[in-house]
């Protein structure tokens, strides 16, 4: 017997445009898509992010044909009332959107709320795993995910006898080269829809940040599959070795660039994970590369999603390091030319030009700088969510407030990710072209990361002394003969 919901229309948010709508159990349903101008104006988004969102919605409408209704309205409520039928909707991907959908359900505009389709593990299953845990370790979650989905397993044991090959994924960039010898990433072709999106965004006069530019990332399931195939067949073999490295002449290196289609929902995480596993099993990708990629998606990405909901909205207010410095203007405006430190300039230019930087640039350059300078964690999380093309409300709080800024006091990560210039020098080719010297902490050419690290250690010495992973930094700091001069220098530093 068919229920009343069997033929109900399905309203899709812009980050829920997955392939199951085309050929899965929702393939028979009418689909509602909404372009809400108020959502585009709500914050200062990167221009290319807005382009991707509108392009994804309009490509979905074109691909679904007569099944789809695309409504352009000032807000979602207005569009739903214009549509005139109660709709089904998947669980949204933020607290604010979930509250909004619940209000729409009470008003009769939403008939029912379905589980989120764009992650491997259902939220109810994570709640069972989390239980009464007070401390969380991603490695525990990741191993459970591998077992549950039978990924890189030989029976009950991990393939190769080890769960994690992270120690083999930390090579410095190859010396004497400007880029990796690896095939270029997949690049989608812009079409008439993209031309119309760019024209419409120009006409809206939105207050955006960053540069406009050609679309670099997939926005449809078909494009996402092509991008995945290109990565797995031609780029994955080199990904693992250099996934933590940075090269000034090679912004993409061997990274997959799949975070946008994953976060738009047009690529399911298990599709990406299975493709990487198959590459290993047929002998075209090393185990360390396949495992590192799978860990990013089935481990870290899923972990961040579930902890966003598990920790709740109050997590956004965490500020255990008492960081209250507002983001400087050059940071908020993506003014890469206002900084001299080559690593910081490169990372900020990547955000300005593409709305993207890879995970080490986010954590060990941008995040490292921010934690050393005490930028407000909530403001920083909001910036990452709006300035990055793969940033959504659920992605950044645990990544930024927890992992990067240690503002939750260690609930997520065991130590703050602060380091001096030596790490950046080892993992990049930036320092050779920089006016600052990563070995110097005092003077006009003192590296702002090296000097800033010691100022950070001094500021938080009680917390760091109580942590076995950071306690040695306190004794090292106390041996610095020029510590007072370094602290005074950093108190007055206004150029980076």
Mean pLDDT of the chain: 95
Q: What is the pLDDT of residue 3?
A: 43
pLDDT > 90: what percent of the chain?
94
Q: Same domain for 169 and 280?
A: yes
Distance CA 51, CA 191 (A): 13
Contacts 24+ apart (CB under 8 A), 99-107: 100/76, 104/76, 104/77, 104/80
Q: Classify residue 2: in a domain, yes or no.
A: no
Q: What is the pLDDT of residue 435?
A: 97
| pLDDT of residue 235 exceeding 80 | yes
Distance CA 225, CA 248 (A): 28
> Residue 69: which H helix or E strand, with range?
strand 68-73
Q: Same domain for 336 and 293?
A: no
Domain that holds residue 94: 10-114
Q: Classify residue 190: in a domain, yes or no.
A: yes
Q: What is the pLDDT of residue 438?
A: 98
pTM of the model: 0.95
Q: Are strands 153-154 and 157-158 parallel, antiparallel or unpaired?
A: antiparallel
Q: Same domain for 247 and 127?
A: yes
Q: Same domain for 97 and 156?
A: no
pLDDT digits (tens, 9 = 90+) for 130-167: 998 888 899 999 999 999 999 999 999 999 999 999 99
pLDDT digits (tens, 9 = 90+) for 245-268: 999 999 999 999 999 999 999 999
| pLDDT of residue 1 exceeding 50 | no
Categorize the per-residue pLDDT at 2 as very low, low, confident or very high, splitting at 50, 70 and 90.
very low
CB 340 within 8 A of CB 307: no
Q: Classify residue 1: in a domain, yes or no.
A: no
Distance CA 424, CA 134 (A): 33
Torsion of CA 357, 358, 359, 364, to 10 degrees: -70
Q: Given its phi and psi angles, is residue 283 left (phi above 0), alpha (psi -120 to 50 degrees) or beta?
A: left
The CA-atom distances, in angstroms, between 300 and each of 122, 243, 412 are: 15, 15, 12
Structure tokens at 358: 């890879």
Q: For the chain, how long is the longest CA-to-CA vector?
A: 81
Average pLDDT over residues 95-101: 97
Categorize the per-residue pLDDT at 7 as very low, low, confident or very high, splitting at 50, 70 and 90.
confident
Q: Same domain for 349 and 472?
A: yes
Q: Same domain for 165 and 282?
A: yes
Q: Same domain for 229 and 257?
A: yes
pLDDT digits (tens, 9 = 90+) for 405-420: 999 999 999 999 999 9
Q: Given its phi and psi angles, is residue 205 left (phi above 0), alpha (psi -120 to 50 degrees) or beta?
A: left
Which of 310, 328, 347 marks a domain boundary? 310
Q: Classify residue 394: in a domain, yes or no.
A: yes
Categorize the per-residue pLDDT at 19 as very low, low, confident or very high, splitting at 50, 70 and 90.
confident
3-state secondary structure of 163: coil
Q: Please spell the DSSP secondary structure of 354-415, one letter per residue.
A: HS---HHIIIIIIIHHHHHHTB-HHHHHHHHHHHSTT--TTTHIIIIIIIIT-TTSSSS-SS
pLDDT digits (tens, 9 = 90+) for 431-488: 999 999 999 999 999 999 999 999 999 999 999 999 999 999 999 999 999 999 999 9
For residue 89, give the CATH number of its domain.
3.40.50
| pLDDT of residue 183 exceeding 70 | yes
Q: What is the pLDDT of residue 5?
A: 64
Which of 114, 136, 164 marks a domain boundary? 114
CB 238 within 8 A of CB 179: no
| pLDDT of residue 211 exceeding 50 | yes
Q: Same domain for 333 and 468?
A: yes
Q: Same domain for 321 and 402?
A: yes
Q: Same domain for 330 and 462?
A: yes
Which of 76, 95, 114 marks a domain boundary? 114
């Amino acid at each position: 017997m068919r229920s009343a919901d069997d033929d109900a229309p399905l309203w899709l948010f812009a980050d829920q445009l997955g392939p199951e709508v085309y050929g899965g159990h929702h393939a028979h349903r009418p689909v509602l898509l909404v372009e809400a101008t108020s959502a585009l104006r709500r914050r200062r988004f990167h221009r290319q992010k807005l382009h991707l969102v509108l392009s994804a919605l309009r490509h979905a409408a074109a691909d679904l044909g007569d099944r789809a209704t695309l409504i352009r309205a000032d807000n979602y409520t207005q569009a739903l009332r214009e549509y005139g039928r109660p709709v089904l909707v998947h669980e949204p991907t933020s607290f604010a959107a979930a509250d909004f959908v619940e209000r729409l359900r009470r008003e009769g505009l939403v008939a029912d709320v379905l589980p989120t389709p764009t992650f491997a593990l259902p939220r109810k299953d994570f709640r069972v795993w989390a239980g009464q845990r007070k401390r969380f370790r991603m490695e525990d979650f990741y191993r459970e995910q591998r077992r549950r989905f039978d990924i890189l397993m030989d029976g009950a044991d991990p393939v190769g006898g080890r769960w994690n090959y992270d120690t083999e994924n930390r090579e410095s960039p190859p010396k004497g080269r400007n880029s990796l010898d690896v095939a270029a990433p997949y690049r989608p072709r812009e079409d008439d829809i993209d031309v119309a999106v760019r024209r419409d965004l120009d006409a809206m006069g939105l207050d955006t940040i960053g540069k406009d530019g050609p679309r670099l990332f997939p926005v449809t399931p078909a494009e996402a599959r092509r991008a995945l195939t290109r990565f797995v067949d031609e780029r994955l073999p080199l990904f693992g070795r250099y996934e933590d490295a940075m090269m000034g002449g090679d912004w993409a290196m061997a990274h997959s660039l799949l975070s946008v289609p994953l976060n738009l929902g047009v690529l399911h995480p298990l599709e990406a994970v299975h493709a990487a596993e198959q590459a290993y099993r047929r002998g075209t990708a090393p185990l360390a590369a396949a495992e590192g990629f799978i860990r990013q998606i089935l481990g870290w990405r899923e972990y961040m999603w579930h902890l966003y909901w598990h920790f709740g909205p109050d997590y956004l207010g965490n500020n255990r390091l008492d960081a209250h410095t507002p983001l400087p203007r050059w940071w908020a405006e993506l003014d890469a030319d206002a900084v001299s430190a080559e690593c910081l300039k490169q990372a900020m230019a990547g955000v300005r030009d593409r709305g993207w930087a890879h995970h080490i640039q986010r954590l060990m350059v941008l995040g490292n700088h921010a934690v050393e300078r005490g930028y407000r964690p909530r403001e920083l999380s909001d910036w990452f969510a709006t300035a990055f093309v793969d940033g959504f409300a659920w992605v950044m709080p645990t990544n930024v407030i927890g992992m990067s800024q240690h503002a939750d006091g260690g609930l997520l990560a065991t130590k703050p990710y602060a380091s001096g210039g030596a790490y950046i020098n080892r993992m990049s080719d930036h320092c050779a072209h920089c006016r600052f010297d990563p070995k110097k902490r005092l003077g006009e050419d003192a590296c702002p990361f090296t000097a800033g690290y010691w100022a950070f250690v001094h500021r938080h010495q009680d917390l760091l002394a109580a942590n076995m992973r950071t306690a040695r930094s306190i004794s090292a700091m106390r041996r610095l003969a020029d510590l007072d001069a370094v602290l005074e220098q950093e108190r007055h530093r206004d150029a980076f």
